[in-house]
């Protein structure tokens, strides 16, 4: 019998959500995603310490930003040796509200990749789904640089990304689930509120249906999963990026996985088109407490982990 992971791959492109590239060969994902937290986690392991030390030594005396870029691209190159598809490389979260700086950083990352002989089409520049980040993505996409819009928690963000012609979005299932579960407290009932009714799952389904209904080519990649159920409830989504521990669970299971999302069926749904300009985006995002709080929290977390990574590098330079 096929494993649950193999069944899932029949309906959805499976992506590994990890900087731990040594694990990728086992699960054979098409693409891989990274972020500052995942890179920080990896470089603290003995297996990856030499890569960190070599990068710091090779770029000794260069600005910290350059060393960080070289490190995340070193991971990106190793990942691309294993996977057949694309790697997502994230712009510093501290630039999330600076359109021009985000564009400059994306250009820099692409040029470094090109310097190592990597085809830019195998790289997705990962940008936070703020209004400023979306505007940066719009410019980059017009130049042929593909973007993965991250820290996405709401339909207004998704609509703005699609209108900007972003290549891909990464709505965060697990973090939405976390917020609603914490908010409900003792009233949360996993049997009632999880599974197909999981708020993170229903958010992605809504975005997926909206895109298919109105013919947006932007790819939807569910991200940030907490449970196998959240993943299997989104079977049929364009892509799903999954952590190694959940990939392991899927590979060890033979529970049936059936298609839950269908592009053709979505085109027949009754969905109202959303009009998004800057003021509408900001108001609608502000009006949704979960999305506002999780976006801010995510930027703070990625920025904090970038600082921790810088501290590790400074210690090596002593």
Q: Which of 9, 105, 126, 205 is catalytic?
A: 126
Whether residue 307 has pLDDT greater than 90: yes
**Residue 24 pLDDT:** 85
**Residue 32 pLDDT:** 94
Which backbone phi and psi does 241 adopt, to 5 degrees?
A: -100, 125
**Residue 71 pLDDT:** 95
Q: Count other C-beta atoms under 10 Å from residue 246's C-beta.
A: 19
Whether residue 318 has pLDDT greater than 80: no
Nearby residues of 157 by Cβ (< 8 Å), 6 or more positions away: 129, 134, 149, 169, 281, 285, 291, 295
Whether residue 105 has pLDDT greater than 80: yes
Whether residue 276 has pLDDT greater than 80: yes
**Residue 20 pLDDT:** 85
Nearby residues of 182 by Cβ (< 8 Å), 6 or more positions away: none
* % of the chain beyond a pLDDT of 70: 100
60 Cα distance to chain centroid: 30
247: confidence class by pLDDT, cuts 50, 70, 90: very high
Contact in structure between 95 and 101 (CB atoms under 8 Å): yes
Task: Write out pLDDT tens, residues 145-190.
Answer: 999 999 999 999 999 999 999 999 999 999 999 999 999 999 999 9
- 28-67 b/e (C-beta count within 10 Å ≥ 16 → b): bbebbbbbbbbbbebbeeeebeebbeebbeebeeeeeeeb
**Residue 38 pLDDT:** 87
Task: Write out pLDDT tens, residues 48-74.
Answer: 999 999 999 999 999 999 999 999 999
Angstrom distance (rounded) from CA 155 to CA 207: 6
**Residue 74 pLDDT:** 95
Q: What angle do CA 230, 235, 210 make, to 5 degrees?
A: 95
Angstrom distance (rounded) from CA 208 to CA 127: 20
**Residue 22 pLDDT:** 80
In Å, how far are 62, 100, 151, 303, 315 from 56, measured between CA atoms?
Answer: 9, 27, 29, 20, 10
Q: Which domain holds residue 8?
A: 4-317
* Known catalytic residue at 28: no
Whether residue 34 has pLDDT greater than 90: no
In DSSP terms, which residues pair with 219 in a beta bridge?
168
Task: Write out pLDDT tens, residues 176-231.
Answer: 999 999 999 999 999 999 999 999 999 999 999 999 999 999 999 999 999 999 99
> Residue 145: exposed, middle, or buried by beta-carbon count in 10 A (0-12, 13-18, 19+)?
buried
Tokens of 151: 């820290």
DSSP string, 195-249: GGG-HHHHHHHHHHHHHHHTT---EEEEB--SSHHHHHTTTTSSEEEE-HHHHHH
36: confidence class by pLDDT, cuts 50, 70, 90: confident
Mean pLDDT for 265-289 is 96
Whether residue 125 has pLDDT greater than 80: yes
Angstrom distance (rounded) from CA 158 to CA 212: 13
Total of domains in the chain: 1
Among residues 12, 1, 7, 4, which one has the least CA distance to residue 223? 12
CATH number at residue 265: 3.20.20.70
Which pTM was predicted?
Answer: 0.95
Considering only 40-44, 248-252, 256-260, 267-271, which range has the smallest mean pLDDT?
A: 40-44
Q: Does residue 51 sit in helix, strand or coil?
A: helix
6: confidence class by pLDDT, cuts 50, 70, 90: very high
Only one residue has tokens 């190694």, namely 244
**Residue 65 pLDDT:** 93
Question: For residue 90, what is the enclosing H or E element?
Answer: strand 87-90
**Residue 53 pLDDT:** 93
Mean residue pLDDT across the chain:
96
Mean pLDDT for 68-87 is 95
**Residue 296 pLDDT:** 98
Whether residue 317 has pLDDT greater than 90: no
């Amino acid at each position: 019998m096929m494993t649950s992971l193999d069944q899932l791959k029949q309906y959805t492109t499976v992506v590994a959500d990890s900087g731990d590239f040594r694990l990728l060969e086992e699960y054979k994902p098409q693409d891989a995603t990274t972020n500052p937290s995942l890179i920080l986690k990896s470089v603290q392991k003995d297996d990856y310490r030499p890569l960190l030390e070599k990068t710091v030594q090779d770029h000794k005396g260069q600005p910290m930003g350059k060393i960080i870029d070289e490190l995340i691209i070193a991971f990106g190159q190793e990942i691309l040796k294993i996977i057949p598809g694309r790697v997502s490389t994230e712009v510093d979260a501290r630039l999330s509200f600076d359109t021009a700086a985000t564009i400059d950083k994306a250009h820099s990352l692409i040029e470094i990749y090109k310097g190592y002989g990597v085809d830019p089409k195998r790289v997705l520049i990962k940008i936070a789904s703020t209004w400023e980040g979306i505007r940066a993505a719009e410019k980059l996409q017009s130049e042929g640089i593909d973007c993965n819009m991250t820290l996405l928690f709401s339909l207004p963000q998704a609509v703005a990304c699609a209108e900007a012609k972003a290549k891909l979005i990464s709505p965060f299932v697990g973090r939405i689930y976390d917020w609603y579960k914490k908010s409900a407290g003792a009233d949360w009932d996993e049997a009632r509120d999880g599974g197909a009714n999981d708020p993170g799952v229903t958010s992605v389904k809504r975005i997926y249906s909206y895109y298919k209904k109105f013919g947006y080519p932007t790819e939807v990649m569910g991200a940030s999963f907490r449970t196998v159920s959240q993943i299997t409830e989104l079977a049929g989504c364009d892509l799903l990026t999954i952590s190694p521990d959940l990939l392991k669970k899927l590979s060890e299971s033979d529970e049936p996985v059936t298609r839950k999302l269908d592009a053709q069926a979505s085109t027949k749904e009754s969905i109202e088109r959303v009009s998004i300009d800057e003021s509408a985006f900001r108001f609608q995002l502000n009006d949704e407490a979960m999305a506002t709080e999780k976006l801010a929290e995510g930027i703070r977390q990625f920025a904090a982990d970038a600082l921790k990574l810088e501290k590790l590098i400074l210690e090596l330079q002593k």
